[in-house]
Amino acid sequence: MIGDIKVDSGLATAYEPDVVNRMRFRLRFASQQVRVHEVTGVMVLSSALDRATLCPYADLCRVVADVVVRPSQVFHIVRVTVVILSVNRHAPRYPAPSVEFDVPANAPPGTVWALPAADDPDGGAEGVQTYRIASPPTSPFGLDVVLLPDGSRDIHLRLLKSLNRSVWLPASTASLLITLPKMAQFELRYRWFRRLFCL
């Protein structure tokens, strides 16, 4: 049960009992989420609501329904707003467990590479809050994370300092592990290569 329109809107006390007993209730517009009993004015859910389906990535999820109260002598439109709270039911997922790309050994600091974001339909406080690189603090890479209007995030790997493979990375390939607080992990593999110039 969401609520009793008669009682919660104050109509039950605003009119005489015989008028209240003649009141009839209906939704102004059809709704797949809620319904209202015509005689009692009790509003209930039509089915279980899945916040991740209704409002993916949104900070606030709500369903709004207008209830028309008749007869004409007591005509009212009562707006009901149902705020849908959620538990964290979805683990974030990356489109693939890893991605590989080439990193020029002479790439200048500030160079960026786009990374895939994790998909987490929970959204809001239950969704992905942050990304971080789970690598040594000496890593020459950092993450730029931008919150987009739809609640998702745009992620770029940024080269923070010039690469010196001999100082911090003896091999010709490397991996970075990007983690989320909700334990999803994404491995980023990159290869060094030398640019060849032909004159």
**Does the pLDDT at position 145 exceed 50?**
yes
* Biggest alpha carbon–alpha carbon distance for the chain: 98
Q: Which domain holds residue 47?
A: 3-83
**Does the pLDDT at position 57 exceed 70?**
no
Claim to verify: residue 112 and residue 71 sit in the same structural domain: no
| Residues in contact with 71: Cβ distance below 8 Å, sequence separation at least 6, in sequence order | 22, 23, 24
Residue where a domain stops, chosen among 55, 83, 111: 83
Average pLDDT, the chain: 76
Residue where a domain stops, chosen among 83, 112, 131: 83
The answer to pTM > 0.85 is no
Alpha carbon distance 50, 87 (integer Å):
10
Quote the pLDDT of residue 168: 43
Q: Name the band, by pLDDT with cuts 50, 70 and 90, for residue 67.
A: very high
Q: For 193, what's the count of Cα atoms within 13 Å in the CB-facing half-sphere? A: 8
Quote the pLDDT of residue 186: 47
- The verdict on residue 92 lying in a domain is no
Each residue's pLDDT tens digit, 87-141: 656 667 777 777 776 777 777 899 888 888 777 766 666 667 777 776 666 677 8
- The verdict on residue 44 lying in a domain is yes
Task: Find out whether 138 and 167 touch, Cβ atoms under 8 Å.
Answer: no
Quote the pLDDT of residue 50: 76
Question: Taking residues 53-75, what's their average pLDDT?
Answer: 86
Q: Name the band, by pLDDT with cuts 50, 70 and 90, for residue 148.
A: confident
**CATH number of the domain residue 33 falls in:** 2.60.40.60
- What domain count does the chain have? 2
- The verdict on residue 89 lying in a domain is no
Claim to verify: residue 109 and residue 186 sit in the same structural domain: yes
